Amino acid sequence: MGANSVAFVEFHIGVSMGGMVAVPLNFRLAAKELQFILNDSSCKALIYAAPYGNIVDELRGEVSSLKHFISLSGSREEDVGYEELLSGPAGGSTLQPDAEDPAAILYTSGTTGFPKGAVLSHYNMLAAIRGNIIEQHIVPENTFLGVGPLFHVAPLHILLAILYRGCTCLILPQFDPNTVLETIQRERVSNIFLVPATLKALLDFPDFAGYDLSSLSTVTYGGSPTPRKLLLRALKSLGPVLLQVYGSTETGLTTVLDKNHHMTTEPNGEHKYIHTCGREIVDFMVRTVDERGNDTAPGRPGEILVRGGSVLRGYWGKFEETQKALVDGWYHTGDVGILDDMRFLTILDRKKDVIISGGENIYPAEIETVISTLPQVSETAVIGVPDDRWGETVKAVVVLKEGKTLSADDIIDACKRNLASYKKPTSVDFVGELPKNSTGKVLKRVLRDRYEKTRATTL
């Protein structure tokens, strides 16, 4: 438990090589959330950085399986120091793991409830590494800057791919736009992975234009939907270096929108593919299916199913949930998307977030895209709320930029101009912030619960 460091890389590789199982922890979680993960995974040892000593002290005695506490900052009371442990006599496991043995348990973000532990085997990890090397065209001459938290699957897999290929790797403890820009310029960084929020933070940095970023050859991004206007701005500022990845904790890298397809345009000059997340990677298969499990026709929405070498072996200690998620070798992502006749995949929404109003399926992401284009809007979330006539109806929850004003009618009118009438919100609430988990994902279940309770109280 700690920020990015060389020790984190040593831990992840060394533990796996020793036949043990690595469980990276999100240090942003509260003590109760960490307690759940540690108990669920029956962890026996906890390595932690100094800033989290107080949380570790809260966990003592609350996790019966924990026998060893190891401090990255040297010995601390009864806890052994990390470097002290490494300099001592060799010992412990000499077990040689098999390809199908667990290498890591990565816990999902828990946007729908308690997190689940995705079990990734050594074969899964190697398949993910190779997929990243091939699809991102990683070569030994690359210099990678790691800024994403390594307890997340994408930054972790990309880092391991870079090391596996023999590249130079630089690791920052956390993302800071000034430090990132200075490091890219000074170290002639060629590769970096960003999420939309950190990509925007770099572009918004006051002296962004003053840095020499000409060494960048691949700026990989993903992790959440990227607004179109941010993508167009990044293409203009950075050039043809963007590469989009789509995947999950359970699957690893699944599809890629490569650099060339970012630049492909229609005859009218419109970008042809940047609304998609690309095509399936090498040795991967993607399908979209209807409620009966039948493949949908090109251009028709369906649940996204994936199959490939990096797909998880199952959920730790959850046989029934594993059986539901993995059917005949296909992982049911819970995402709804469209495959076109060229196999480009467009993500519409999470299956559980689809609003069914009067028999029509409405995908909140479509509405959120329209609302987010309004210059006064900072962020938005669209949910379905109970309606006596239609079953569900559309509600937009909106956070405005500081000092900006907008009415509910303004937002509804913008949706009417850009979407079918039945998709427009029937109500709009303005709030100071949206509920989010520790990784920044909006918790729509919290919003749905909030408005369901409000309706129940009103009735």
Which pLDDT band holds residue 450 (cuts at 50, 70, 90)? confident
What tokens appear for 208 in the block? 């962004």
Q: Is the pLDDT of residue 262 over 70?
A: yes
Higher pLDDT, 348 or 162: 162
- Mean pLDDT of the region 369-373: 90
Question: Residue 348: its pLDDT value, please?
Answer: 86
Q: Is the pLDDT of residue 408 over 90?
A: yes
How far apart (Å, rounded) are the C-alpha atoms in residues 162 and 256? 17
Q: Which of 48, 50, 53, 5 is nearest to 25 (CA)?
A: 48
Question: Residue 32: its pLDDT value, please?
Answer: 85
What is the pTM (predicted TM-score) of this model?
0.82
DSSP label of 434: -
How far apart (Å, rounded) are the C-alpha atoms in residues 302 and 293? 9
How far apart (Å, rounded) are the C-alpha atoms in residues 228 and 369? 8
How far apart (Å, rounded) are the C-alpha atoms in residues 372 and 411? 10
- Mean pLDDT of the region 427-451: 86
Q: Is the pLDDT of residue 157 over 80?
A: yes
Question: Residue 227: its pLDDT value, please?
Answer: 81
Widest Cα–Cα separation across the chain: 72
Q: Quick check: 111 and 126 in contact, CB under 8 A?
A: no
Question: Residue 456: its pLDDT value, please?
Answer: 40
Task: Count CA atoms closer than 13 A to 97's CA, side-chain side.
Answer: 21
- Mean pLDDT of the region 233-259: 96
Question: Residue 30: its pLDDT value, please?
Answer: 81
- Mean pLDDT of the region 282-288: 96
Could you tell me the CA-to-CA distances from 50 to 36, 56, 76 in Å, in that order? 21, 10, 9
Higher pLDDT, 197 or 43: 43
What residues form DSSP beta bridges with 305?
A: 287, 332
Handedness of CA 314, 320, 325, 329 (dihedral sign): positive
Q: Is the pLDDT of residue 440 over 90?
A: no
- Among 28-42, 210-224, 288-302, where is mean pLDDT lowest? 28-42
Q: Quick check: 46 and 57 in contact, CB under 8 A?
A: no
Q: Which of 451, 400, 391, 402 is nearest to 427 (CA)?
A: 451
Question: Residue 46: its pLDDT value, please?
Answer: 96
- Mean pLDDT of the region 18-38: 89
3-state secondary structure 40-104: HHCCCEEEECHHHHHHHHHHCCCCCCCCEEEECCCCECCEEEHHHHHHCCCCCCCCCCCCCCEEE
C-beta neighbour count of 352 within 10 angstroms: 13
Going by C-beta distance under 8 Å and a sequence separation of 6 or more, which residues neighbour residue 206? none
How far apart (Å, rounded) are the C-alpha atoms in residues 37 and 31? 10
Question: Residue 323: its pLDDT value, please?
Answer: 95
C-beta neighbour count of 441 within 10 angstroms: 15
Question: Residue 300: its pLDDT value, please?
Answer: 94
What residues form DSSP beta bridges with 356?
A: 361
Higher pLDDT, 292 or 112: 292
- Mean pLDDT of the region 272-290: 95
Question: Residue 458: its pLDDT value, please?
Answer: 39
How far apart (Å, rounded) are the C-alpha atoms in residues 58 and 49? 15
Question: Residue 316: its pLDDT value, please?
Answer: 96
Q: Is the pLDDT of residue 322 over 70?
A: yes
Question: Residue 391: its pLDDT value, please?
Answer: 80
- Mean pLDDT of the region 225-248: 92
Higher pLDDT, 311 or 392: 311
Which pLDDT band holds residue 350 (cuts at 50, 70, 90)? confident
Which pLDDT band holds residue 92 (cuts at 50, 70, 90)? low
Question: Residue 113: its pLDDT value, please?
Answer: 58
Which pLDDT band holds residue 18 (cuts at 50, 70, 90)? confident
Question: Residue 94: its pLDDT value, please?
Answer: 67
How far apart (Å, rounded) are the C-alpha atoms in residues 425 and 390? 13
What tokens appear for 76 in the block? 């601390």
Q: What is the mean pLDDT of the chain?
A: 91
